[in-house]
Amino acid sequence: MNVDLNYWGKSGAVQGPGGGWALSFAPNLARPKVFFDQTLKSPLRFREAISALHDVVVGDFKFRPKDHTAFRAWLAEQQKQEHAIRKAHHDRAFRQELEKIVNEPIPPGLELDFHKMHELYWRARRAWASDLSRNDPALFRSLVPCDPVVTVAPDVVFFECFSKDESSYGCLYVDREAFAGQGEAGLGTTNVDYSLALYEHFQTLRTYRPTRLQVDPTGFEVKVEGQENYREQKIDLPSSWLRGFGQLQGAMMLASRKIELSVDTIYSLLAYLKRHREKSGPRSIRFELTPGQAPQLVLEPWNVSIQSHGPAYQGPGRETIKVWGRRRLMVLQRLLPLTDRVEVMLLGSGMPSVWTLHLGDMRFVLALSGWSENDWSGGAALELLAGDLRPDNSVAAKLESHLRTEHRAPLSTLEKIAGAPRETLLGSLHQLCQQGQVIYDFSAHAYRYRPVMPVALSEHVLGPEPEEVSQGKRLAAQGAVRLTRDELITGGRRLLQATIGKLECEAIVDLDGGFKNAKCECAHFYKFRLRAGPCRHLLALRLHSASESKTPASLLKLTPWLN
C-alpha cells in the first residue's frame, strides 16, 4: 500500500527557555490534524519506557546462519595483517606530504568545494534510498524501521510500533494524569517522524530538567512545500506490516488465560537467560498453572523452575502452556525497576502471548508471536481460530460511528449500541480490528478508535481470507460434516468425532471453545498440528457442533475479563 508521509522538520529534543527540554515529534501532515503539548511529570519514567519501545522497533530475531570455518578465520587474520602493513606505509607517506605543505596557505574556495561535495553525497544517498524503496522494499524496510503510530485520546496518549521481523508489537500508554497542567490537544491518530538518532535524544531526559511532550502543532500551519524543513516521502508499506495490526487485535477474540506475575519473577527469568545460552532444544518457557496457586515458570531445556510470588491463578483447571521466542523479552529489562506488576495473557502452547507492565501512570504492552520466525502477519494465522465469528457491515458501521465519537468504550456498552447477537457483535469488532480501525486496550479492557491508516484496510490491501478458513466455512455451510460422536467428558469438555468427505477427524473442545487436543488425517494438520490454527476440517467440525448445540463457539471464546 502506497502511503504519503509529509513531515515539517524532524523529531528530536530541543532545549527551551529556563533550561527545560521539549521532546518534539513531527506528525504526518498528510493525515488529519493531531497535536499535543504538555509537560511530563516523570521524564525518567517516560525515557525508560520510550527506550524500550525503541528496542521493539529495531528488534530482529530471525535466525541467520554464521560461518565459523577455519578458512574464514585464517583469511580474516591475513587481511588484518595486510591492512596493518598498508596503514603503516600510508601513515608514513601522509606525514611526509603534510611536512611539505605545512606552511602553505589554505586554498581559496576550499569550504565552498566541501559544501558542493557534501550536497553531491547526500543527493546521491537520497536517490539511492528512493531507488531501494522502489526496487527492494524488503531490504529498505529492514534498514529503515516503519514510523511509529501515535494516538492522542481524551484519557491517554499512546505509541504503537512493530519490530523489523514483525514478530513483536509494542505499545506505550501514557495517562493524561502523567502530564502537569492543561495544554491544548487535537485528538486523533497519525504517524510521527522517527529516526535512529531520536533514540539518542531520549537518553538526554533527566528528572531535574522540565520536559514537554509535543506532537508539534506548528507543522500543520505550513503552506509552502518548497521550504527546506518540508520533507515528502512516498513509501510502499508491505501488506504484512498492515496485516500485523489487525492480526494482533484478532488475538483478543481467542480463548486465553490471564495470569499475574510478580516483578521478581521477570527479573529471575531475564537474568537466567542472559547468563545462559541453550545449545539444544526445547527453548520454551513452560507455564505450570494450578488453580489456587501462584503460577510457576519452567525454563527449558535446563528445567529451571521460577516460582511467582504474585496472586494465585484463577483459571478453570490445571494445565501447562508453552511459549517460544523468549529472548524477545529482553526489551523489558529497562522497565523492571519502574514496574508495579506484570500481567500475561496466554493464548495457548505455541501461540502468541501478551505481556503488560504497569508503570504507575504508564503501561507498556509487548505482544509476541508464537516464535520469532512465526510473525503476526502470516505464520500465526490467528483468523483461523476466529473463523466462526459472524461480522455484519451495518453493525460494524454503528460500532465505528460510536467509537469515532466517544474514542473508547467497553464491550458491555458496545453490545447495547449494536443491538445484535453476541457472535455478530464480536464478528463485527473483529472485522474492524482487521481493517485497522479499532484497537483493544489490554490495560483498560476497552475498545478504542485508532485508524492505523487514513482509510480502512480493504481485502485488496490485506490479501484474501486464508484458504483454510474459507474452505472450512464452505464445508460447514454445505453440510459436509457428519457428526459421529458428541459427548461431555470431565471438566465440562466435549469430545467430538466426525467424518468429512473421506477424512475422519476428532477434537476435545474446552469451555472456552478452544481445542485442547485434536487429530485429523489431512496434510495441513500433519504438517502444522494446531500451531498455525485448526485445519479446514476441524474448523468445519467446530462450526457444525456450535450450530447443533445452539451455542456459537465465538460466545465461548471471550476472555474472562471482557464481560
Domain parsing of the chain, residue ranges: 2-58+145-220, 248-385, 388-462, 467-558
112-127 average pLDDT score: 79
Higher pLDDT, 78 or 69: 78
The correct CATH number of 248-385 out of 3.40.50.1980, 3.40.50.970, 3.10.150.10, 3.20.20.70 is: 3.10.150.10
Side-chain-facing half-sphere of 250: CA atoms under 13 Å = 27
Pairs from 338-341 (Cβ < 8 Å, separation ≥ 24): 338/45, 338/48, 338/49, 339/263, 339/266, 340/263, 341/260, 341/261, 341/262, 341/263, 341/310
In 450-535, at which residue ranges do the beta strands (DSSP E only) sit?
Answer: 481-488, 494-500, 503-509, 515-520
* Residue 119, SS3 per DSSP: helix
State the cell numbers at 130: 528512493
Dihedral (CA of 401, 406, 411, 413) sign:
negative
Tell me, what DSSP letter sits at residue 386?
Answer: G
Same fold flag, 2-58+145-220 and 248-385:
yes
Mean pLDDT of the chain: 77
* Residue 179, SS3 per DSSP: strand
Asked if residue 306 has pLDDT above 80, the reply is: yes
The pLDDT of residue 290 is: 93
Asked if residue 419 has pLDDT above 50, the reply is: yes
Higher pLDDT, 336 or 352: 336
Rounded to the nearest 5°, which phi and psi values hold at 268? -65, -40
* Residue 37, SS3 per DSSP: strand
Distance of CA 148 to the CA centre of its chain: 11
Q: How far apart are CA 279 and CA 301, in angstroms?
A: 9
**Cα–Cα nearest to 176, from 205, 149, 207, 151:** 151
C-alpha pair distances (Å), 453 with each of 7, 106, 163: 16, 54, 18
Tell me, what DSSP letter sits at residue 332?
Answer: G
Sheet holding 285-289, edge to edge: 304-307, 296-299, 285-289, 319-323
Residue percentage of the chain with pLDDT more than 70 = 71
**pLDDT confidence tier of residue 293, bands split at 50, 70 and 90:** very high
The pLDDT of residue 552 is: 40
Asked if residue 152 has pLDDT above 60, the reply is: yes
Q: How far apart are CA 247 and CA 521, in angstroms?
A: 28
Higher pLDDT, 354 or 191: 354
Asked if residue 379 has pLDDT above 50, the reply is: no
| Selection from 8-12, 27-31, 358-362, 437-441 with the highest mean pLDDT | 358-362
Tell me, what DSSP letter sits at residue 148?
Answer: P
Evaluate whether the domain defined by 388-462 bears CATH number 1.10.10.10: yes
pLDDT, tens digit, for every residue of 208-232?
Answer: 778 777 776 554 444 434 444 444 4
pLDDT, tens digit, for every residue of 5-58?
Answer: 555 556 666 666 555 666 666 666 556 677 777 888 888 888 898 888 888 877
Q: How many CB atoms lie within 10 A of CB 420?
A: 18
Q: How far apart are CA 251 and CA 354, in angstroms?
A: 10
State the cell numbers at 34: 493531531
Query: Using alpha carbons only, what angle is made at residue 237 by residues 232 and 238, rounded to the nearest 5 degrees?
Result: 165
Q: How many CB atoms lie within 10 A of CB 358?
A: 18
Q: How far apart are CA 246 and CA 465, in angstroms?
A: 13
- DSSP β-ladder status, 362-368 and 319-323: unpaired
Q: How far apart are CA 192 and CA 146, in angstroms?
A: 10
Tell me, what DSSP letter sits at residue 31?
Answer: S
Tell me, what DSSP letter sits at residue 390?
Answer: -
Check if the beta carbon of residue 283 is closer than 8 Å to that of residue 275. Answer: no
**pLDDT confidence tier of residue 562, bands split at 50, 70 and 90:** very low
Asked if residue 411 has pLDDT above 80, the reply is: yes
Tell me, what DSSP letter sits at residue 439?
Answer: E
Check if the beta carbon of residue 409 is closer than 8 Å to that of residue 440. Answer: no
The pLDDT of residue 380 is: 41
pLDDT, tens digit, for every residue of 512-551?
Answer: 556 778 999 999 898 888 777 788 898 888 878 766 654 4
Which residue carries 494450578 as its cell? 290
pTM: 0.69
Dihedral (CA of 390, 393, 398, 403) sign:
positive
The pLDDT of residue 548 is: 60
The pLDDT of residue 304 is: 94
* Protein fold of 2-58+145-220: DNA Polymerase III; Chain A, domain 2 (3.10.150)
294-315 average pLDDT score: 92
327-334 average pLDDT score: 91
**What are the b/e assignments for 212-251, b being 16+ CB within 10 Å?**
bbbbbbebeeeeeeeeeebbebebebbbbbbbbbbbbbbb
70-78 average pLDDT score: 84
C-alpha pair distances (Å), 26 with each of 17, 34, 173, 224: 20, 10, 19, 17
Lowest mean pLDDT among 92-96, 208-212, 361-365, 375-379: 375-379
